[in-house]
Amino acid sequence: MSNAYSEDVSTAVLRRMKEGGFDFASIHPIEFYATFPDEDTARAAAGQFRGESLNAQVREREKAGGTLSCRG
């Protein structure tokens, strides 16, 4: 994907958000999950978000057979 194309797509998305009444001046929390093979790796990733995220958590996923997820 060329840089010019991605900028056009980004500009279009931002314009549509503005037209839809999105408030760019407000803070909008984004919730995401990442899965890691072990606790040390999950905790290291969670540590990278401290200061940027108010709620970085590491917990074992019930259906993942022991893998851990970092929720930011």
Are 35 and 65 contacting, i.e. CB atoms less than 8 angstroms apart?
no
Question: Is residue 72 predicted with pLDDT exceeding 80?
Answer: no
Please give the tally of structural domains in the chain. 1
Count of CB atoms within 10 A of residue 45's CB?
17
> Which residue reads 């279009």 in tokens?
12
User: Which of 23 and 70 is assigned the larger pLDDT?
Assistant: 23
What's the rounded Cα separation, in Å, for the pair 20 and 15? 9
Are 60 and 47 contacting, i.e. CB atoms less than 8 angstroms apart?
no
pLDDT value at residue 20: 97
Q: What tens digit of pLDDT does each residue of 24-70 get?
A: 999 887 777 788 888 888 888 888 876 666 677 787 776 655 555 55
Residue 49, both tokens: 């978000």
> Which residue reads 């969670």 in tokens?
46
Q: What is the domain extent for residue 46?
A: 3-71
What's the rounded Cα separation, in Å, for the pair 27 and 23? 9
pLDDT value at residue 36: 84
pLDDT value at residue 69: 58
